Structure 1
Amino acid sequence: MELWDLLDRNRNKIDKTHERGKPLPEGYYHLLVYIIVQNDKGEILLSKRHPNKVFGNLWECTGGSALAGEDSLQAALREVKEEVGLDLASIDGKIIFQETRENPPAHFDYWLFQANAAIEDLTFQNDEVIDAKWVTREAFEKMVKKKKWSQRQ
């Protein structure tokens, strides 16, 4: 069972948790993080979703929900470690964009990290990720246009 902290509209924790998979109570939000990992060549790390997942076989940047007790940075570091086995240094990350959405009711934090890793050195979470690759910004933009990109936001 995965638990999330419930937040108010202003991103304040309200000392209540919520079980993943159940509808959020009216007026409450949870925190989602998306992590863009960029290497020294300016390439972006993408992972390919497991075919049994929603948006299966599509490429994406790593992301997910913050667990109860985690802040945004902790969630970002954990998600990347869990999904692709990459240990990021907190000092190498920065939030580049934040937004709040009503459907689903969530606060979104988009992180940018600088890191270099060989694809063959990554380890994938069995039920989440089946592949990874580095792509140029131009290749990434083409993937989005051709809908070969996960829209799970």
Structure 2
Amino acid sequence: MAELWDVYDVNRAPTGRTHVRGEPLAPGDYHLVGDVWTVNFENKVLLTQRHPSKPKGLMWECTGGAIQAGESSLCGAVRELREETGLRADPENMYLIHSIRLKDRFVDTYAVRMNFALPQVVLDEQETVQAILVDWEELLALWAAGKLCPESRFPLYRSALVSFLKQF
């Protein structure tokens, strides 16, 4: 069955229409994406490596993906985290740290702190091939080396992610 997205206008107002994933969006139409930076109680950040067949294959990233029709950004981000890593986050512990409008999407970036270890991560083999936990310096080194995506947006929410990490 085809995955459906809700369609939004340039001001993020719902249009009442849906869109089939994989088909081009019409000019002026937008959909929602939710990204999640997951941090464990040792202040290590979870990264997954993209499947080689995907765009930007083998780059490291936080968890995320398209929000399905009928979902809120928050609920979709929680679902993406569960589907891609097997980790179950409490929506009340998810913090919106950044939101941006891009060419055809609005991206909401969340951060969550959870008690987990790497052996608990169960990867979706169609999405990712590996998971690692990194400290802040290792995360910055991956970004500086051009191995972290989305490379262009990371500087926009870097300070918000730092603020989130400093809470603990």
TM-score when scaled to structure 2?
Answer: 0.85
| Matching residue of 1:118 | 117
Q: 1:80 is paired with a residue of what secondary structure?
A: helix
Q: Distance in 1 between matches of 2:24 and 2:54?
A: 19
Deviation at 1:137, TM superposition (A): 0.9
Amino acid at match of 1:73: L
Greater per-residue helix proportion: 2
Over the matched positions of the two proteins, sequence identity in percent amounts to 34
C-alpha contact 2:40 2:117 (8 A) present in aligned 1: no
CA contact (8 A) 1:84 1:129 kept: no
CA–CA separation in structure 1 for the residues paired with 2:120 and 2:32 = 29
Asked whether the 8 Å contact 1:51–1:57 carries over to 2, the reply is: yes
Alignment of 1:3-152 (within 5 A): 3-101=4-102, 103=103, 105-151=104-150
What is the one-letter code of the residue matched to 2:72?
D
1:22-43, CA deviations, whole angstroms, 9 ceiling, x for partnerless residues? Answer: 1111211100111111122222
Deviations 1:39-61, CA, capped at 9 Å, x for gaps: 22222110111122111111100
Q: Normalised by the size of structure 1, how large is the TM-score?
A: 0.93
Deviation at 1:127, TM superposition (A): 0.5
Gaps of 5+ in 2: 154-168
Gaps of 5+ in 1: none
Q: Deviations over 1:49-96 (max 9, x none)?
A: 112211111110001110011000111001000001100111111101
Q: How many angstroms apart in 1 are the aligned matches of 2:115 and 2:129?
A: 20
Query: How far has the Cα of 1:151 moved from its partner?
Result: 3.1
Structure number with higher strand proportion: 1
Partners in 2 of 1:21 and 1:3 — Cα distance? 10
Spell out structure 1 runs of 4+ moving beyond 2 A: 150-153
Over aligned residue pairs, what C-alpha RMSD do you find?
1.3
Count of aligned residue pairs for this structure pair = 151
